[in-house]
Chain A
Amino acid sequence: MAQNVVTPTAVKKVRIMPPMLRGFLWAGIGFLLLNSLTASIRPDVGHPFFTEVSVTMGWIGGVIGWLLGVGAYEGMILPLFGVTPRIQPATDWRKYFAFATEHKVVGMQYLTSSGCAFILAGAVAMAMRIELASSTLYFFAYSDRYLSAVGIHGTIMMFAVATVALVGGLGNYMVPLMIGAKTTVFPRLSGLGQWLIPAGVLTVALSPLLGYWTTGWRGYEPLGSQDASGIIFYYLGVAALTMSSLIVSLNLVATIVFNRAPGVTWARLPMYVWGVLTVSILNLIWLPEIQMAFVLRLLDRLVPLNLYNAMGQPLSDLELFWLFGHPEVYIVVVPAFALWNEIIPVMAQKTLFARSWAVIGLIFVMMLSGLVWAHHMFTNMRNSEMFPFSFFTEMISIPTGFAFMAAIGTLWKSRYRLTTPGLLILMSMFNFLHGGISGVYLADPPVNLQVHDTMFVVAHFHYTIIGGMVFTWIAAMYYWLPKITGRMFSEFWGKLLSIWIFVAFNATFSTMFLVGLEGMNRWVPTYPPYLHPLNLAVSIGAWALGTGFVLHAVHIVWAWRKGPKAPDNPWGGRTLEWQTSSPPPDHNFESEPEVVGSFYVYGEHAEPVLAHPPAAPETT
């Protein structure tokens, strides 16, 4: 109580250093504090000040210091003890560079973190393709550097981009708007989750400073336990990144369950919200599992425990990894399926076809995704285990197909506006189809035993993840750009760059299928010379693709800063986010919306969505 009495005098402006700078400083203090503490209580005399155990503890201190420094101290800790912080959160542009709880700010922060991580890990991929343009080692000094690059690329792309951009990013921004809510239920969780992303990305990206690690993003044991100490920061970075997605998912599930506006029933819930809901439930189920698997790996190394070497059971590590690892790829792509059927009806101004089947598809993919994981282990599991896992792997294509079925039915005899987002959605379906069809081959064990661990598999999952998720992410960025920024992009440049990445993407990864079939294994910076011509072609395509992605980013940032003013509802969308001004006001809606009609019915049966439409005429 006493603290509250003090606050009126403390309202006068208190200036602190920029929160991110303070975060770095506090992270350094936290690291040194816990590292020193650990070093001081170690019983063996004469050990070095920095050991694997002490930097692990130091890292925990560093992350806590970072989170508190960027603003969790004022945003979470002080209120917890009933203290009103003397420092008020910024209201200008500075709010984007500090701990925030406003869901639109958090969404923007997440999108920025994810976008930066995408460019960073993409640059690492460019370096890999420079190396693979030749059959000999010439770019990286030794293969352990190359393999570290593979691991950093995969880990950051998976845990800081593919898992994050459509959930922590667009999910945080759009879900409350789409269900007519003012805010999320646990805004501090999302706010905290965002700042775990830079911490995790930096941890993984800088891990080679402690020594190169060679396992790739999967971190298989027993190889991981004999790698240099850098692998510890891979374990810890993954812990931070998965924790980010986990707490965000908790917030989003709670928000979707409890914060829907009147009339936003389950039967009316927007497709993208269904996508975020299913993927968040997948996150809640499987992320704790992989975190425990990584804790076991860390303990296996630090204690050490001999869990996964010849004395233990190496395969159990692989099983623990893939038990999460396959749901993960659906965590990546399920929101993309949902976005296809979110954007297509708007671009076509046509009623969504077979909506319930599209939702059933998302839910069944969510459930089946936990039953297919061992198809990553056909080459090392016992024969009898191939039968059930090839069965479920083949069956999961059925609910996946429902997303295509709904899209195809919606497009039939439509008047489809081939805007940049509309075009990118068709491209994403085209690309994901390649990934899905090649997945049928991989589900068949005799074919799998040949192409497993080859570039065929690499091409397959890049088709599903870049083709499915990244293309859809860019489509969604263009689709919602006028909503988020109130500005419009250039259709000319949007379409040109989309065709650019489409051609470059397909040139790169369709050739990679052939490289794999011709006998090129994964995780190699060098290869037999007969594979050189195809690899050079892949590299050229990859550089073109990387350039295209950067240009898209430049175009989007340009449109956000300098683009022409956009109307409130440029596409004629019926979902709730389009029923408010662009960019949305602080509390999203002038008055709480009451929904009385379906979001996806167009034409003469279309009823008004809102019981009390806003006074301003809808612009198109």
Chain B
Amino acid sequence: MDFAIFGIVWVIISALAEWGLHRIGSNTMYFLLSNQGAIALHAFNFLTTMLTPVFLFVIWYLVWTAIRYHADSPESRPSRVQFNKNGLFTGIWITGSIALNLLFWLHPTAADLEQMFAAQLPSVNKNDLIVDVTARQWEWIFSYPQYHLTQTVNANGEDELVIPVHKKVEFRLRSYDPFHTYDVEAGVIHSFWVPAFGIKEDVIPGETRYEYIVATRTASYQTNPEVRVQCAEVCGPGHPWMESPLRIVTASQFKSWIAKQQKLQAAGS
């Protein structure tokens, strides 16, 4: 009897939760607009789909205990039913948890990592747009070596990152301070994070790290505040302000922006 009521309610609330999840599925991680973001969102939703019944099983069981099994008086009386093992239950629990975790390791973990690593192979990255990103305390500096641009800025003179949509971009991430008066190697760990990309990569002093991204639609900080470069690893008192606006534009807009930046740089030098 207990078994039937508990089980039926569990199935019903799990089904309702899955249906609700399905309805909001594309927004569970708020706002993502890159190929990497699609991988993360897919993994997130897959895990949620699989874990919802597990989660609700325990939650519902705790509520069930409080409702159905609570003692009506505080006096110390043994429970009527007594047992210390149940091979079927422990067997299902242990094999189930092993199977579920092996599944998660194969999919999404291994499957998604294979996709991520494949996107980083040199053979598929021959015509990328290269953006050199330099993290210093506390500023993001963007340069476009293919266009001989050393530091791109907007009309206010603030660092600006602009990338074309649907184009593979290779970010080369380094941490040092080109403006330091005597020690350009002075640098700490930063983390290059665009929330809307769905990935962050730490920038380590003395090393070069790479991140490959294809943005899947045009957007800017004005259209969604998650479209911004944000340092995600604490890097000193300036850390909260180590952010930079980002614009994802069409190919032709990108071209005219590059031309403007080249003119600006020529005028400045």
The residues of A with any CB-CB pair to B shorter than 8 Å are 142-144, 147, 212, 214-216, 220, 222-223, 226-227, 309-315, 318, 348-355, 357, 379-380, 383, 386-387, 390-391, 394-395, 397-398, 401-402, 404-405, 408-409, 411-419, 423, 426, 429-430, 433, 437, 440-441, 443-447, 449-450, 452-454, 491, 517-519, 521-528, 530, 571-572, 600-606, 620
Can you offer 29 A-B residue contacts whose CB atoms are under 8 A? A143-B237, A144-B237, A147-B234, A222-B205, A309-B206, A310-B176, A311-B206, A348-B79, A349-B77, A350-B78, A351-B82, A354-B90, A383-B120, A387-B110, A404-B58, A413-B79, A416-B65, A426-B62, A437-B51, A443-B104, A444-B104, A445-B116, A446-B199, A447-B40, A447-B108, A517-B28, A524-B240, A603-B79, A603-B82
Residue on B with the closest CB to A531? B225
Nearest 3 pairs of A and B residues by beta carbon: A572-B76, A519-B195, A380-B202
Are A220 and B62 in contact (CB-based, < 8 A)? no
The segment from B18-26, B151-159, B185-193 that touches chain A is B185-193
Known: A354-B90, A379-B200. 7 other contacts (CB 8 A): A310-B205, A357-B90, A395-B101, A405-B93, A412-B81, A416-B71, A419-B74
| A58–chain B nearest beta-carbon distance, Å | 27
Mark out the residues of chain B between 135 and 175 whose CB falls within 8 Å of any chain A CB in the assembled complex: 175
Q: Is B179 in contact with chain A by the CB < 8 A criterion? A: no
Residues of B within 8 A of A394 (CB): 101, 104-105, 109
| Bound-state Cα–Cα, A524 to B36, Å | 26
Are A354 and B84 in contact (CB-based, < 8 A)? yes
Are B66 and A418 in contact (CB-based, < 8 A)? yes
Are B234 and A445 in contact (CB-based, < 8 A)? no
Residues of B within 8 A of A387 (CB): 109-110, 113
| Bound-state Cα–Cα, A355 to B85, Å | 9
Are A379 and B191 in contact (CB-based, < 8 A)? yes
Contact partner, B54, options A353, A437, A453, A521, Cβ 8 Å = A437
Residues of A within 8 A of B29 (CB): 450, 517
* Residues of B in contact with A, size category: 35 or more
Are A523 and B239 in contact (CB-based, < 8 A)? yes
| Bound-state Cα–Cα, A524 to B235, Å | 11
| Bound-state Cα–Cα, A379 to B80, Å | 53
Residue on B with the closest CB to A530? B225
| A355–chain B nearest beta-carbon distance, Å | 7
| B70–chain A nearest beta-carbon distance, Å | 5
Residues of A within 8 A of B97 (CB): 397-398, 401
Given the known inter-chain contacts A414-B79, A447-B44, please indicate yes or no for A223 contacting B236, CB distance below 8 A: yes
Residues of B within 8 A of A518 (CB): 30, 195, 226
| Bound-state Cα–Cα, A528 to B243, Å | 10
Are B240 and A450 in contact (CB-based, < 8 A)? no
Residues of A within 8 A of B193 (CB): 453, 521
Given the known inter-chain contacts A441-B47, A453-B193, please indicate yes or no for A521 contacting B230, CB distance below 8 A: yes
Residues of B within 8 A of A523 (CB): 234, 239-240
Are A215 and B234 in contact (CB-based, < 8 A)? yes
Residues of B within 8 A of A528 (CB): 225, 228, 243
| B227–chain A nearest beta-carbon distance, Å | 10
Instruction: Determine which residue in A220, A310, A357, A401 has the highest number of CB atoms from chain B within 10 A of its CB, and name it.
Output: A310
Chain B 75-112 near chain A by CB (<8 Å), digits 1 or 0: 11111111111100110011001100100110011101
Residues of A within 8 A of B182 (CB): none
Are A429 and B58 in contact (CB-based, < 8 A)? yes
Residue on B with the closest CB to A222? B188
Are A445 and B82 in contact (CB-based, < 8 A)? no
| Bound-state Cα–Cα, A423 to B17, Å | 26
Given the known inter-chain contacts A214-B237, A397-B97, A430-B59, please indicate yes or no for A353 contacting B69, CB distance below 8 A: no
Are B84 and A416 in contact (CB-based, < 8 A)? no
Residues of A within 8 A of B191 (CB): 379-380, 453
Are B204 and A380 in contact (CB-based, < 8 A)? yes
Residues of A within 8 A of B28 (CB): 517
Are B82 and A426 in contact (CB-based, < 8 A)? no
Residues of B within 8 A of A449 (CB): 36, 40, 198-201
Q: Is B219 in contact with chain A by the CB < 8 A criterion? A: no
Residues of A within 8 A of B7 (CB): none
Residues of B within 8 A of A220 (CB): 188-189, 233-234
Q: Is B131 in contact with chain A by the CB < 8 A criterion? A: no
| A173–chain B nearest beta-carbon distance, Å | 23
Are A390 and B240 in contact (CB-based, < 8 A)? no
| Bound-state Cα–Cα, A411 to B79, Å | 10
| Bound-state Cα–Cα, A440 to B55, Å | 12
Residues of A within 8 A of B105 (CB): 390-391, 394-395
Given the known inter-chain contacts A379-B191, A415-B69, A603-B79, please indicate yes or no for A524 contacting B204, CB distance below 8 A: no
Given the known inter-chain contacts A352-B84, A411-B61, A413-B81, please indicate yes or no for A526 contacting B225, CB distance below 8 A: no
| A104–chain B nearest beta-carbon distance, Å | 25
Are B66 and A309 in contact (CB-based, < 8 A)? no
Contact partner, A601, options B59, B70, B84, B241, Cβ 8 Å = B84
Q: Is B232 in contact with chain A by the CB < 8 A criterion? A: yes
Q: Is B39 in contact with chain A by the CB < 8 A criterion? A: yes
Residues of B within 8 A of A314 (CB): 189, 204-206
| Bound-state Cα–Cα, A351 to B84, Å | 6
Residue on B with the closest CB to A434? B55
| A420–chain B nearest beta-carbon distance, Å | 11
Residues of A within 8 A of B89 (CB): 405, 409
Are A350 and B204 in contact (CB-based, < 8 A)? no
| A332–chain B nearest beta-carbon distance, Å | 21
| Bound-state Cα–Cα, A225 to B225, Å | 33
Residues of A within 8 A of B69 (CB): 348, 411, 413-416
Residues of A within 8 A of B86 (CB): 353-354, 409
Are B61 and A417 in contact (CB-based, < 8 A)? no
Are B40 and A450 in contact (CB-based, < 8 A)? yes
Q: Is B43 in contact with chain A by the CB < 8 A criterion? A: yes
| Bound-state Cα–Cα, A138 to B109, Å | 42
Are A415 and B79 in contact (CB-based, < 8 A)? yes
Residues of A within 8 A of B233 (CB): 220, 379, 453
Are A226 and B236 in contact (CB-based, < 8 A)? yes
Residues of B within 8 A of A397 (CB): 97, 101
Are A446 and B112 in contact (CB-based, < 8 A)? yes
Residues of A within 8 A of B108 (CB): 444, 446-447
Chain B 22-57 near chain A by CB (<8 Å), digits 1 or 0: 000000111110001101100110010001001100
Contact partner, B231, options A426, A521, A600, Cβ 8 Å = A521
Are B83 and A525 in contact (CB-based, < 8 A)? no
Are A311 and B185 in contact (CB-based, < 8 A)? yes
Contact partner, A350, options B51, B79, B188, B225, Cβ 8 Å = B79
| Bound-state Cα–Cα, A383 to B28, Å | 26
Are A310 and B61 in contact (CB-based, < 8 A)? no
| Bound-state Cα–Cα, A620 to B76, Å | 6
Contact partner, A602, options B82, B110, B175, B228, Cβ 8 Å = B82
